[in-house]
Structure 1
Amino acid sequence: MTERKTTMTTRRKFLTTAAAGAAAAPLAAPALAQSTITWRLQTYAGPALAEHVLDPAIAMFNQIAGDRMQIETFYADQLVPTGELFQAMQRGTIDAVQSDDDSMASPTEVTVFGGYFPFGSRYSLDVPVLFSRYGLKEIWEAEYAKVGIKHISAGAWDPCHFATKDPIRSLADLNGKRVFTFPTAGRFLTQFGVVPVTLPWEDIEVAVQTGELDGIAWSGITEDYTVGWADVTNYFLTNNISGAWIGHFFANNDRWEELPDDLKTLFTVCCDQSHYYRQYWYWGGEADLRVNGTKMELTTIPDEEWDTVEQAAQVFWDEIAAESETKAKVVEIFKKYNADMQAAGRPYRYGKA
């Protein structure tokens, strides 16, 4: 894993550097044919994370597509704030987006399930199976078609753990903690005294240093190390509220329909390749850094106490299901899937659900 530079990149410094680089790029970049299709894609991820989770896939696409199509990438909040990604894509300001539904404030019925739906998954393989074999893919495609967006690909990313300045060894330790997290995860965690805080992604490291935040519940330990959060937090809670983030690639539907079929296929394959990379990068990285990482001390809330959180999640699921027919359908799929995995036993599930 590439070591993160010790110098801190502020938003102003990053944008200044990006602007300078953009101004210089035409001098070095090869000329494109006038007929070249060009897209702009913005990700929820900052530059250090995007180096792993986005850039390789788009570089692959651009190399293969050549003069036929090129995609320019932008990182978290660079063109628009992450919470405005959906609106920008719907308007056509941005052609495509890499994000979860929750972070980009999607107006669909499935938004609450994007990102970290509490205890919806235990392992990263749960997510592609839920989409490919249990019907979530068709539901997502239908919901986004209603609002002019093409849902291209869903994948499993890292689990959701707390990284904090002070140790978390009991539920009581969560009380009053100001935490950067996803909207749905924050909604769920408030019952345990967590105070969800929304800030621009690139401001999180400084917010922890200044005391504006007590911790982060946004990722697993791989991401904590990669983006620098492990440098400003002291403890990593091994209990998680979700085994894998549900993230996606989306595109403005009009722009998508303008593409020839082979470029649609190529972009889909590159998106799937990005998900595949994340699957093993996170799975291996989570274990490696728990064992060999030196920056964060591991803490654990005892099983008998954490069971109350898992039980609360089931109540939360039912509350979500009561909100609409589509949400009820998705919750039933989650329940059916997790029941099947529990019945299957090891290695799919073991212990309590």
Structure 2
Amino acid sequence: MTNRRNFLKKAGLFTAAAGSATLAAPHVKAQAPIKWRLQTYAGPALAEHVIKPSIDQFNKVAAGQMEIELYFADQLVPTGELFRAMQRGTIDAVQSDDDSIAAPVDVSVFGGYFPFASRYSLDVPVLFNEYGLKEIWEEAYSEVEGVKWLSAGAWDPCNFATVDPIRSLEDLKGKRVFTFPTAGRFLQRFGVVPVTLPWEDIEVAVQTGELDGIAWSGITEDYTVGWADVTNYYLTNNISGAWAGSYFVNEERWNELPENLQTLYMLCINSSHYHRQYWYWWGEAHYRTTGGKLELTSIPEEEWTTVEDEALKFWDEIAAESPRNAKVVEILKKYRETMQKAGPPYRYG
């Protein structure tokens, strides 16, 4: 017991001495947090689901080491100028698709809604992570100075929401529609007139008659962002089963991050990818059956098959634009064949 008391007394002296030394140390000012500005393709209502939760998680877990300021569609920079702005360092990061931000890479045409490249949302992560698209995208963006591509994931399908009903291909002719660049390029073959406008102007443009409809999303977004309030019909046939969107970052800003923050950012991207998988899968069925605002219409399957056949011709045209595009199209064809051979639940009919 005597030895134990002597040990505790000495330990207390050492602790006190250490404490004194700590108190005597000069004050070091805490390092200011790293600040990023990230702009998404989505408006405020949609961003609440497709990115804001993951950015809130990041800022919370970063615990003052870093803070990401989130900006919505066209808030800092018009969407079509996002890539160049990120390259210059005007903004630090982007969530969008390659097609909309005019990424100067050949594979940008496959971003957004590449016609009939997917049937379901799970097709997108499978194509990137199991069929080699990830490595192709990394290669393409390594050739562009100043921007790093980080990850791609799936969003919703591409359907028409219109003022007047679409029940045949003939009904598409002359319709002025807000859509994505490559999707619009394809839809022109069926008489659709693609229109480009700032995202926040779409609702008013439908109300004023400047637009006849929207082919920018599935039904979940039509209800979430208010487009179901200004259109009357929803075409159940889609030209793509899922939007392929990506996360991009200014390469210098990315390289400046310590490894733990890079890892945290990638984890939050994956969290966003996962949330969208079930949120859209729920919404597409929920709003078709209980939405109450849009009447569902369909083009007969035998007629819609001609659109799918035309898409395969479109694929071959895109493949001819570069060897890398040809490689992507080859993967898409192999994937399509595999899914068809696998049968239900991968493909029906």
TM-score by length of structure 1 reads 0.90
* AA aligned opposite 2:94: V
Residue number among 115, 124, 128 corresponding to 2:125 in the alignment: 128
Corresponding letter in the other structure for 1:99: S
Q: CA–CA distance in 2 between the matches of 1:232 and 1:195?
A: 19
Aligned residue in 1 for 2:89: 92
1:322 aligns to what? 320
Structure 1 segments, 4+ long, off by >2 Å, are: 32-35
The aligned residue for residue 242 of structure 1 is: 240
- 1:118 corresponds to which residue? 115
1:295-306 equivalences under 5 Å are: 295-306=293-304
2:278 to 277, 280, 292: 280
Amino acid at match of 2:88: R
Select which of 269, 273, 279 maps to 1:271. 269
2:306 aligns with: 308
Q: Which residue of 2 aligns with 1:140?
A: 137
| Residue 5 (structure 1) aligns with | none
Rounded to whole Å, the distance in 2 between the matches of 1:59 and 1:273 is 11
1:178-232 CA deviation, whole Å, 9 max, x = no partner? 0000000000000100000000000000000000000000000000000000000
What letter matches 1:288 in structure 2?
H
Paired with 1:72 and 1:199, the residues of 2 have a C-alpha distance of 25
**SS in structure 1 of the partner of residue 48 of structure 2:** helix
Question: Residues 33 and 67 of structure 1 are in contact (CA less than 8 Å); yes or no, is this contact kept in structure 2?
Answer: no
Q: 1:223 aligns to what? A: 221
Tell whether the 8 Å contact from 1:165 to 1:235 is kept in structure 2 after alignment. Answer: yes
The offset of 1:33, in angstroms, is 5.1
d(CA) in 1 for partners of 2:273, 2:131: 18
What secondary structure, in the 3-state scheme, does the structure 1 residue paired with 2:271 have?
A: helix
Between the aligned partners of 1:139 and 1:230, the Cα distance in structure 2 is: 37
Bigger Cα displacement from structure 2, 62-71 vs 33-42: 33-42
Name the amino acid aligned to 2:47: A
Q: Percent identity?
A: 75
Q: Post-superposition shift, 1:177?
A: 0.1
SS in 2 for 1:247: strand
DSSP 3-state at the match of 2:296: strand
SS at 2:214 equivalent: strand
Q: Say what the alpha-carbon RMSD is for the aligned residues.
A: 0.9
How far off is 1:35 after superposition? 2.7
Aligned partner of 2:9 in structure 1 is none
Q: 1:252 and 1:157 mapped to 2: Cα distance? A: 23
Deviation at 1:144, TM superposition (A): 1.3
The offset of 1:143, in angstroms, is: 1.1
CA contact (8 A) 1:160 1:241 kept: yes
Distance 1:285 1:236 in 2: 14
Q: 2:345 aligns with which of 332, 347, 350?
A: 347
- Name the structure 2 match of 1:24: none
- Residue of 103, 106, 121 corresponding to 1:106: 103
Indicate which of 144, 148, 152 corresponds to 2:150. Answer: 152
C-alpha separation in 2, matches of 1:153 and 1:63: 22
Letter matched to residue 333 of structure 2: K
Q: Secondary structure at the match of 2:106?
A: coil
Q: Aligned with 1:349: secondary structure?
A: coil
2: CA distance between counterparts of 1:272 and 1:227?
24
Counterpart position of 1:4: none
- The equivalent of 1:202 in structure 2 is 200
- Distance in 1 of aligned mates of 2:139 and 2:37: 24
Structure 1 regions of 5+ residues with no counterpart?
1-31
Partner of residue 28, structure 1: none
1 CA distance for matches of 2:258 and 2:187?
Answer: 45
Q: Which residue of 2 aligns with 1:51?
A: 48
Could you tell me how far 1:277 is from its partner in structure 2? 0.6
Q: Equivalent residue for 1:166?
A: 164
